[in-house]
Structure 1
Amino acid sequence: MKHSSVENFVIFVALLFLYIQTSAQGYLKAETFKGADLYADVVQYVKFGIHRTGTEGDNKTSEWIKGILDKNGFSTEYVPFPVEQFFPEKTSLEIGGKSLEIFPVWPVKEANFSINAPLAEANKDLTGISGKIVWINQQSKERSFSFMDEDNAAFIKKIIDGGAKAIVLVTDNAAGEIAAINTLPGVSYPIHVVQVAPKDVRNLTESNAVLTVKGTLKNVTARNIQGTIGSGTKTVIISTPISGWFTCGGERGPGVATFNALAKWVAEKKLPYKFIFTGNSGHELALHQGTHIFLHEKAPKPADVRLWVHLGASFATFAYTKSDHGLTRETKADTNRIVYFAGDVENSVSQAFGKIDIKKAKDKAYGELVVAQKQGYSPFIGFVGTASFLLFHTKLDDASATSPELLEEMANAIKQVIEFELAKDKI
Structure 2
Amino acid sequence: MPPRGDERAMITRRTILGATPAAMAALPAHAQDNGALISQSLALLDRQADLRTGGAGDLAVADQVRANLRAAGFRTSSQRVDAPAFDARRAALVWAGGEVAVEPQPIVRTTGAGGVRGALRLWRDASDTAMMADAIALVMLPMGRHSQLLGEPIRSILAQVAGAAPRGIVLVTNGPTGETIMLNAPIDGAGLPAIPIAVLGPKPGAGALSVARAGGEATLIIDGDVRRVRSPNIWGAIERDAPYLVVSTPRTAWTRAVAERGPGLAAFNALAAWAPQALPAHSLMFVSTTAHEYDNAGSHMFFERHAPPPDRVALWLHLGAGFAARDFHEVGRFALAPLPSPDPQRFLLGSDTLVAILRQAFAGQIGLEAAYPASAGAAGELGEVLARGYAPAFGLFAAHRYHHVEQDRVDKTDPDWIQAAIDALKVTLARALG
**Offset at residue 210 of structure 1 (A):** 2.0
**Offset at residue 53 of structure 1 (A):** 1.3
Question: Against the structure 1 CA distance between its residues 65 and 372, is the aligned structure 2 distance closer, same or farther, given a 3 Å change threshold?
Answer: same
Contact 2:348 2:396 in 1 (8 A): yes
Q: 2:163 aligns with which of 161, 164, 176?
A: 161
What are the equivalent positions in structure 2 for 1:5-20 lying under 5 Å apart? none
Q: 1:370 aligns with which of 374, 383, 386?
A: 383
- Quote the Cα distance in structure 2 between the aligned partners of 1:80 and 1:380: 26
Q: Which residue does 2:358 correspond to in 1?
A: 349
- Quote the Cα distance in structure 2 between the aligned partners of 1:96 and 1:312: 44
- Matching of residue 121 in structure 1 with residue 125 in structure 2: no
Contact 1:180 1:393 in 2 (8 A): yes
**Offset at residue 396 of structure 1 (A):** 0.5
Q: Which residue does 1:323 correspond to in 2?
A: 331
What are the equivalent positions in structure 2 for 1:268-307 lying under 5 Å apart? 268-269=277-278, 271-285=280-294, 287-307=295-315
**Offset at residue 187 of structure 1 (A):** 2.5
Contact 1:36 1:404 in 2 (8 A): no
Q: Which residue does 1:71 correspond to in 2?
A: 71
Q: Which residue does 2:241 correspond to in 1?
A: 232
Q: Which amino acid aligns with 1:309?
A: L
Alpha-carbon deviations, 1:4-36, whole Å to 9, x = none?
xxxxxxxxxxxxxxxxxxxx9997233445335
- Matching of residue 131 in structure 1 with residue 139 in structure 2: no
**Offset at residue 148 of structure 1 (A):** 2.4
Q: Which residue does 1:392 correspond to in 2?
A: 403
Larger radius of gyration: 1
Q: 1:183 aligns with which of 177, 185, 208?
A: 185
Contact 1:146 1:172 in 2 (8 A): no
- Quote the Cα distance in structure 1 between the aligned partners of 2:201 and 2:364: 38
- Quote the Cα distance in structure 2 between the aligned partners of 1:93 and 1:137: 15
Alpha-carbon deviations, 1:284-341, whole Å to 9, x = none?
10x2111111110111111211000011011111101222382111001112211110
- Quote the Cα distance in structure 2 between the aligned partners of 1:374 and 1:126: 37
- Quote the Cα distance in structure 1 between the aligned partners of 2:27 and 2:135: 67
Contact 2:145 2:403 in 1 (8 A): no
Gaps of 5+ in 2: 1-23
Question: What is the SS of the residue equivalent to 1:339?
Answer: strand
Question: Against the structure 1 CA distance between its residues 83 and 147, is the aligned structure 2 distance closer, same or farther, given a 3 Å change threshold?
Answer: closer
Identity of aligned residues (%): 24
Question: Against the structure 1 CA distance between its residues 158 and 333, is the aligned structure 2 distance closer, same or farther, given a 3 Å change threshold?
Answer: closer
**Offset at residue 238 of structure 1 (A):** 0.2
Q: Which amino acid aligns with 1:60?
A: A
Question: Against the structure 1 CA distance between its residues 69 and 170, is the aligned structure 2 distance closer, same or farther, given a 3 Å change threshold?
Answer: same
Alpha-carbon deviations, 1:185-209, whole Å to 9, x = none?
6233211011111114532222121
Q: Which residue does 2:11 correspond to in 1?
A: none
Question: What is the SS of the residue equivalent to 1:53?
Answer: coil
- Matching of residue 310 in structure 1 with residue 325 in structure 2: no
Q: Which residue does 1:42 correspond to in 2?
A: 42
Q: Which residue does 2:10 correspond to in 1?
A: none
Q: Which residue does 1:16 correspond to in 2?
A: none
Q: 1:197 aligns with which of 181, 188, 201?
A: 201
Deviates more, 1:32-41 or 1:54-63: 32-41
Question: Against the structure 1 CA distance between its residues 259 and 146, is the aligned structure 2 distance closer, same or farther, given a 3 Å change threshold?
Answer: closer
Contact 2:261 2:322 in 1 (8 A): yes
**Offset at residue 347 of structure 1 (A):** 2.6
Q: TM-score by structure 1 length?
A: 0.86
Alpha-carbon deviations, 1:396-420, whole Å to 9, x = none?
0011111121111111111111111
Q: TM-score by structure 2 length?
A: 0.85
Question: Against the structure 1 CA distance between its residues 342 and 33, is the aligned structure 2 distance closer, same or farther, given a 3 Å change threshold?
Answer: farther
Q: Which residue does 1:244 correspond to in 2?
A: 253
Question: What is the SS of the residue equivalent to 1:299?
Answer: coil
- Quote the Cα distance in structure 2 between the aligned partners of 1:212 and 1:191: 12
- Quote the Cα distance in structure 1 between the aligned partners of 2:378 and 2:33: 26
Question: What is the SS of the residue equivalent to 1:216?
Answer: strand
Gaps of 5+ in 1: 1-23
Contact 2:148 2:183 in 1 (8 A): yes
**CA RMSD after TM alignment:** 2.3
- Quote the Cα distance in structure 2 between the aligned partners of 1:64 and 1:290: 18
Q: Which residue does 1:380 correspond to in 2?
A: 393
Q: Which amino acid aligns with 2:98?
A: K
- Quote the Cα distance in structure 1 between the aligned partners of 2:166 and 2:160: 9
Q: Which residue does 1:413 correspond to in 2?
A: 424
- Matching of residue 147 in structure 1 with residue 158 in structure 2: no
Q: Which residue does 1:6 correspond to in 2?
A: none
Question: Against the structure 1 CA distance between its residues 372 and 36, is the aligned structure 2 distance closer, same or farther, given a 3 Å change threshold?
Answer: same
Q: Which amino acid aligns with 1:405?
A: D
- Quote the Cα distance in structure 1 between the aligned partners of 2:48 and 2:200: 26
Question: What is the SS of the residue equivalent to 1:320?
Answer: strand
Which structure has more RCO (C-alpha within 8 Å, separation ≥ 6)?
2
- Quote the Cα distance in structure 2 between the aligned partners of 1:27 and 1:382: 20
Deviates more, 1:265-274 or 1:130-139: 265-274
**Offset at residue 355 of structure 1 (A):** 2.6
